[in-house]
Amino acid sequence: MITRRLLGVAVFAAALGVWETWAHAEASFLLPPVSMVAERAWQVWPTSEFLLNVAGSLKRLAAGYAIGAGVGVAVGLVLGARRGARLALEPLIEFLRAIPPIAIVPVLVVMLGLGDGMRVAVIAFGVCFPVLVHAAQGVRAVSPEARDTAAMLHVGPAELLYRLYLPAALPSIVAGLRVALSIGLVLVVISEFVGSPDGLGYYILSSSRSFNVPEMYGGILFLGLLGYVLNRLFLLAERHVLFWHYGAAGEPVR
C-alpha cells in the first residue's frame, strides 16, 4: 500500500517536472513555470480575499449538491420500484439528462437572475441525473425472490422502501453521489463565470482577463487539490457507511 502511494506521488511530481521543463523551454508568458505558479499561490492562497472566494464556491456546491442529490435519490427510488412511474417519466428524464447543464445557464439567468439561485440551480441540475440513474438501477437490481417474499409478507410501501429497496440500492447510490461530486465542482466554476461577484470561477476568469497568468494557473491548481480532498473525504465517509457491503463482498476497503 505504501509503495503504491509513493508511486502516485512520484507520478504527480514527474508531471510537475515536465511542466517546469516545458515552461522553461517555451519561455512563454502564457505558460509560467510551476515554480513561479507555486510561489504566487503561496502568497495568494492564505489571503482573506482568496479564502472568501473558496468559501463562496463551497457554499454553492453544498447547496446545489444537497438539492440535486436529494431529488435524484427520491426520484430514482420511485422509478426503480414502480414500473408505471418509470414508463411515464423515463422519456422526460432521458430528454432532460441529455441537455448539458451549461446549456441551461442562459435560461436560468432569465428566470432567476444572476444571483446564487441561478448557480445553485445549475449545480443541482447537473448533480441530479447521475444520482437518479444509479438509484434506479440499484433498486431494479433487487432480486425477484426478495420482492416476492416482501409481497407474501404484505410489507407496506414505506417499509418496503426503507427495509429493502434503499439498503439494496445504497452502494449504487453512493457510486452516483461520488460521480456527481466531481460534476458539481465543475458546474460551480462554470456558473461563476457568469456575473458572479466571488468564487473560484470568478477568481480564475478575472485573473485571466487581467493577464495575471500565474494567479490563473494557481486557481486551477487549487481546484484540482480541492477536488482531490473532497474525493478523499467522500471515500472516508463511504468506508464507514458501506462497511457491511465491502465485508459481504470480500472487497478491500479503499
Could you give the 3-state DSSP secondary structure of residue 254? coil
> Which stretches of the chain score pLDDT less than 50?
249-250, 253
69 within 8 A of 131, measured Cβ to Cβ: yes
pLDDT at position 148 is 64
Res 149: pLDDT: 73
Q: Position of cell 508531471?
A: 15
What global pTM score does this model have?
0.87
CA distance 32 to 110: 39
Q: pLDDT at position 187, please? A: 95
DSSP assignment of 23-52: HHHH--TTS--HHHHHHHHHHHTTSHHHHH
Contacts of 38 (CB under 8 A, 6+ apart): 218
Domains with residue ranges and CATH for the chain: 38-249 (1.10.3720.10)
Q: What is the pLDDT of residue 240?
A: 83
Q: What is the DSSP letter of 156?
A: -
- Three-state SS annotation for 108-155: HHHHHCCCHHHHHHHHHHHHHHHHHHHHHHHHHCCCHHHHHHHHHCCC
Distance between CA atoms of residues 12 and 94, nearest Å: 38
Query: Would you mind telling me the total number of residues written for the chain in this entry?
Result: 254
